[in-house]
Structure 1
């Protein structure tokens, strides 16, 4: 007959509790849902007689952060989205550009925050690159960079 080992059971139970606590503490929470209105596109290069032509930009300072009970950190990233007024597919309406930019920003944030990159300039650059990759499928010719254009106001989210 086997003897009951209370100490062994405590070690197993403590190990399970520790694993659950660590998993909970390391969980990354991605919230947000940047609104399309955050991308206020302004024309910076007028449309000419030739297609494609024109250029418009929207500047947004986006807070990217990782929330966890053990460690929370965040960084503001300066994002400038540049889009042709008219690309080879035709005119790019502001409303369409706003919807696509917001969806791309949300998706890019989920992707880069799940990679565990510390909130630094590297995180912001990864976010810009991922956002451009996603957005270029919907709007050819798009560029996502840090703030470059002068005399274009920016919005902050959140």
Structure 2
């Protein structure tokens, strides 16, 4: 519980002291990626998910350092990433992670699943109403792209991801 409180205060400080609007960068290692991901950057896909789904919280784009705290993926495994999180009042999150190769994508997918599992346990103790949302979180791999979406309508997220990245 103490760790959770520290993490929540860190997020409050991060977002409370930031400039208004979205002001974060994404990584771009220039690695060779699959055809669909080459057509759309992780930022484009994440933004389409942000705009195309319904959210109860205001999600903020994280910089790479905070992304590494949220999803424990090795930087060497990532070519690009875009991660949005809420204020902590809800479990809502978006992560679109373009990996350097298939093996990296498997590792990053496991990191995304671990994030959801950890959040489920954390929210169970302080916002139990969010647990069903986390239990239906979307964590998928499309080629070398890993997508994680935590929102109220998992089916809408799956449909939108399918239209953006293919089935």
Q: TM-score, normalised by structure 1?
A: 0.26
Highest RCO, 1 vs 2 (Cα 8 Å, sep ≥ 6): 1
Structure number with the higher helix fraction is 2
Higher strand share: 1
Give the greater-gyration-radius structure (CA).
1
